[in-house]
Amino acid sequence: MSIYACDWASIREATERIAGIVHRTPVMTSETLNRLSGKQLFFKCENLQKVGAFKYRGATNAVRKLSAAKAARGVVTHSSGNHAQALALAAQVRGIPAYIVMPKTAPAVKKAAVEGYGGLITLCEPTLADREHTANELVAKTGAILIPPFDHPDVIAGQGTTAVELLDDVPDLDAIIVCVGGGGLIAGCTIAAQSIKPGLRIFGAEPSGADDAARSKAAGQWLPQTHPNTIADGLLTSTGQLTWPVIRDRVEHIFTVSDEEIRSTMRLVWERMKLIVEPSGAVAAAVALSDAFRAITGVHKVGVIFSGGNVNLDKLYW
C-alpha cells in the first residue's frame, strides 16, 4: 500500500483506462536546444494533447473511473484554466453533464472553449473561497461528483501516464523536468517514473514569481503560495495536500526561472521547434536551458514536459 494518495498500480490502470481516448503525444528533439543546454533533451509534447494540455489525462481518468450511476449525475469543478476545458470534454465524451464554475474575470476565449466542449458554466466572484462555495452549492443542487483540478487521486494517476509514455519512448533517461503548479503532474509523473526506473532523478520547475514549491522544499514544510506574479498563469496555485508529500519526499530539487527566461524559451521553441507552447508549458524547458541546471552532474539524457499550448494569439508575449 502506497503512503501517497496515488500509487503505481493506479497509474497502470489509468494508462489502460484512457488508451484510445487521450492522445499519445509525440516526443520531439532539437539540436539547437541540446547545444544550448549541454544535454540531450527529449520533449514530451502535451501541448499537442486534446484541449491543448496534459490536464485531459487526469480529467479523463477521473470521469471514466466513475460508476455508471455516479457518472449519470454529472461532474463539477471550479477552474478558469485548462482543467475546465479538460473536464468538459471528458464529460462530453462519456455523455454526461459537466458543471464548470468559472470566475467572472475569466477570458471570453476560455469561456467559449468550455462551452464548445459542452460545459455548463456558472460564473462566480474571482476568489478561491467563492469558487469553492459555488462548486459546493452545485454539488448539493445537482448531486454531481466534484473533481478538483489537481488534488484528487484519480487526477494524479491520469497525469502520471505522461511519464509512462515518455519512458516507453525513451527508456534510458537520467532525469525528467516537470513544471509545478498544483503539483498533480509532477506527483503523478514522479510516482510513475520512479516505479518504472528506480533512482530516476526528478526535478521541478517553477516561475520565480510563483515559487511556493521551491520555498516549501527548502523549508522542509508546506508553505502556501502568496501573491504570485508571473506570465505563467497556469502555475499560480499552491501545491495540494495530496501532491506536496510526493514533492517533499521524491523530487530532488525545484529550480526557478524568471519571466524573462520563460518568455525567451517560449519564443525559442516557437521559432526553432515550430511548436506552440504556452508560458507555463515553457517553464520546464527554461529550467533545462538554465545555468543552474547545466551545473547538475551525472545527468545527460533529460525528459522535459511541455505541459500545454493554450495561448492567446491576440497577445504575443515578447
- 80 catalytic, yes or no? yes
- Helices 184-196 and 153-169: crossing angle in degrees, nearest 10, is 50
Q: Around Cβ 296, how many Cβ atoms within 10 Å? A: 16
Write phi, then psi, for 100 (nearest 5 degrees).
-115, 120
What pairs with residue 178 in β-bridges? 204
- Three-class secondary structure of residue 73 per DSSP: coil
Find the catalytic residue in 10, 37, 80, 195: 80
Residue 39's identity, in one-letter code, is K
Start-to-end CA span in the chain (Å): 48
- 264 catalytic, yes or no? no
Contact criterion met (CB below 8 Å) for 302 and 41: yes
Residue whose entry in the numeric block shows the C-alpha cell 528506480:
198
Of 127, 130, 111, which is closest to residue 119 (Cα–Cα)? 111
Q: Using CA of residue 18, residue 23, residue 28, residue 33, what is the dihedral sign?
A: negative
Q: H helices of the chain, where?
A: 8-18, 31-37, 55-65, 68-72, 82-94, 108-116, 128-142, 153-169, 184-196, 212-219, 244-250, 259-268, 279-288, 291-294
The three cell numbers locating residue 296:
547538475
Find the catalytic residue in 55, 110, 111, 217: 55
Contact criterion met (CB below 8 Å) for 48 and 57: no
Active-site residue set: 55, 80
